[in-house]
Chain A
Amino acid sequence: MTPPPLAPFPPSRPHRIYVAAPLPLLHDAREAAAFLTKAGLTVTSSWHALADDPTPEKEHVMARAEQSRLANTCLSEIDDSDALLLLVGPRSDRCGNVGEAFFAAGRGLHVFVLQHRADAVLPTILLTSDLFHKPTLIDLVVAMLSYVPLRTVRA
């Protein structure tokens, strides 16, 4: 007998997802966050919602304490999530966003790697590991998340 297909279970709260992307994809990250919010998810990442747009130049001139505060904020937001969406674009030397994806994978979060532009290049072969989901559309992220169990998060 064929078992019935798995059905998503009703979660007790909306899934919490962190949107990671290189700074040049700031606009795309905002669009993705708006899409995910509209789909009923809670977006935990704040870097793309700051009033003052983050740039590599601004990061470089920050004092060490400010850099630490920024880094701790990003990693603790990931810690408070069920999943992470990494937006991949053209080749870039920005590596913090991919680092966030690996931090999330290490924590046991579901990580979705979305090459959402025609010129997107997978930034490392390590992302070919089966730890990472590779949906082809952001709609699939939402659909797949409905099967992801909620984590016990601090929020």
Chain B
Amino acid sequence: MTPFLSFQRRVYIAAPRGLFREARALAAALEAQGFAIASTWHAQEYGVDPKAGLYATLDELEADATARLDEVRSSHALVLLVTPRTWRLDSVFEAFFAHGNNKPVYVLRTGSDAIPPTTLLWAKGFEHPHGQEELLLALGQGKTPT
């Protein structure tokens, strides 16, 4: 992957781990539209690295955290999938990190009962498209990568 030589817009998909199938489906839909996918977590079985968790050392956790934040930084936009109960709050933190890095952030609800897990996601800079079609349109009109 050559992010700095590619003209493809790179999108990071953030979501609770339980939504890894939805994240994969969205990744496929975005790739079909010509976007590159910056996030790798949803490519793993159940969205979880089998080496991670209880058996990971602090160094491994730190390396994993740094790698994930680097993926966010290398993207041009981030899509946050929101469920009725967003258990994997890491995804929300990735969205705030992207916003801090001036990336457009799209908060996409996965159902009518899904709610953003924090009021702060209503701040300026967070877009709330209604459905995947509107998301694709918004991403297509997004800022030119710099």
A interface residues with partner B (beta carbon < 8 Å): 59, 62, 64, 67-68, 70-72, 74-75, 93-96, 98-107, 123-131
> Which of A95, A100, A124 has most chain B Cβ within 10 Å?
A95
Q: Decide yes or no whether B26 CB sits under 8 A from chain A.
A: no
Quick check: A128 and B118 within 8 Å, CB to CB? Answer: no
B118 closest partner in A (C-beta): A96
Closest to B73 in A: A106
Which 7 A-B pairs rank lowest in CB-CB distance, beginning with the nearest? A106-B100, A71-B123, A96-B118, A99-B96, A102-B96, A129-B65, A103-B100
Could you tell me which B residues sit within 8 Å of A by CB distance?
58, 61-62, 64-66, 68-69, 89-90, 92-102, 117-125
Contact present for A70 and B119 (CB under 8 Å)? yes
Q: Is B66 touching A72 in the complex (CB atoms < 8 A)?
A: no
Q: Say what secondary structure dominates the interface of chain A.
A: helix
Q: How far is the CB of A94 from chain B (nearest CB, A)?
A: 8
A27 CB to nearest B CB, Å: 21
Complex: how many Å from CA A66 to CA B95? 21
The reply to whether B68 and A75 contact each other, CB–CB distance below 8 Å, is no
Residues of B within 8 A of A104 (CB): 100
Contact status of A123 and B121, CB under 8 A, knowing A106-B96, A128-B58:
no
When the two chains form their complex, are residues A72 and B93 in contact, meaning their CB atoms are under 8 A apart?
no
The minimal Cβ–Cβ distance linking B92 to chain A, given in whole angstroms, is: 5
Per the bound structure, the CA–CA distance linking A154 and B112 in Å amounts to 39
Q: Is the CB–CB distance between B62 and A128 below 8 Å?
A: yes
Within the complex, the shortest CB–CB distance from B10 to chain A, in Å, comes to: 16
Q: Contact between A105 and B61 (Cβ–Cβ < 8 Å)?
A: no
Residue of chain B at shortest CB distance from A74: B120
**Cβ-defined contact, B96 with A126, below 8 A:** no
In the complex formed, the residue of B with least CB distance to A98 is B93
- Which residues of the partner chain B approach A93 to less than 8 Å between Cβ atoms? 89, 117
User: B100, A67: Cβ atoms under 8 Å?
Assistant: no
In the bound complex, do residue A107 and residue B89 qualify as a contact, i.e. CB atoms below 8 Å apart? no
A126 touches B117 (CB 8 A): no
With contacts A95-B118, A104-B100, A105-B100 taken as known, whether A125 is within 8 angstroms of B61 at the C-beta atoms is yes
| A67 x B65 contact (CB < 8 A) | no
- CB neighbours (8 Å) of B89 from chain A are 93, 95, 98, 123-124
CB–CB B121/A71 < 8 A: yes
Beta-carbon contact of A105 and B65 below 8 Å: no
- New contact pairs (10) apart from A95-B93, A106-B99, CB-CB < 8 Å: A67-B122, A75-B123, A95-B117, A96-B118, A96-B119, A102-B94, A102-B96, A124-B93, A126-B94, A128-B65
